[in-house]
Amino acid sequence: MGYYVKVEKGVNIYVEDINSSSNKTILFIHGWPANHQMFEYQFDFLPAMGYRCIGIDIRGFGKSSRPWDGYSYNRVADDIRVVIDTLQLEDITLAGHSMGGAISIRYMARHREHKVSKLALIGAAAPVFTKRPNFPYGMTKDEVNQLIKATYTDRPKMLSDFGDIFFARYLTKSFIDWFQGLGLMASGNATAKCLTSLRDEDLRNDLSFIQVPTAILHGKQDKVCPFVLGELLHSSIKNSILIPFEFSGHGLFYCELEKFNQELANFIG
């Protein structure tokens, strides 16, 4: 079932709600530059195991509204809070991939874990996405700036090039075309402004606010958010477990599909 939630004047967030009668709820926050449909193969599997799966398109992506501004982690975390309260969700697992993982961390700190009982960070773009003087990991700011420039000049090629490093296994051309299509559904402006947030945001001071059980699922071959980021999250988040995916890149939810679904189900219980 799909519907919209109004998060502020003129901004509606698209929500896909599957198996809504279940009281075991997973709220999925997609990564840049896709939308909730990236979790198609989770939405096929987990509801059959008794889970309620909710996918949202963050502002600017998928079927959601495309405001000109509002792409900071704070604003998107506030959108998630409105969705959770509007749907009257309780005792949920918050599952975020890549930038969605970063936003989930900001949600946990900014909203004091409101209604969240477990957290799953999937190839999270955290604690920091870009290198800086006291953080030697991740992309350089110049590399992100090049992605921003490419977004504004040839977004289809930018998405195609990004897709080439996203997965760590052979994929059919049909799948690659489908995945690129998810990125093309987004607003170009939102795509660029979220890159700016990825480049500039720092979540290191947010991590101490996370007290719930946390699973950190991360591909050992990730070329977007290197595996060391998962190790750093694990060392900084109390009550966390690190689940490595030996044969996965950034798209571990598909590279090792069966393992991913089973590990997520095992963690949630």
Domains of the chain: 2-268 (3.40.50.1820)
Say what the pLDDT of residue 208 is. Answer: 97
Of the listed 57, 222, 240, 248, which one is catalytic?
222
Terminal-residue alpha carbon distance, the chain = 24
Annotated catalytic, 206?
no
Say what the pLDDT of residue 169 is. Answer: 79
pLDDT along the chain (269 residues), means of 10: 96 98 96 98 96 98 98 98 98 98 98 98 98 96 98 97 89 92 98 98 98 98 98 97 97 97 97
Annotated catalytic, 22?
no
Work out whether strand 25-29 and strand 2-8 pair parallel, antiparallel, or are unpaired.
Answer: unpaired
Of the listed 65, 98, 187, 197, which one is catalytic?
98
Annotated catalytic, 30?
no
Say what the pLDDT of residue 41 is. Answer: 97
Say what the pLDDT of residue 168 is. Answer: 85
**Longest Cα pair distance anywhere in the chain, in angstroms?**
49
Say what the pLDDT of residue 170 is. Answer: 77
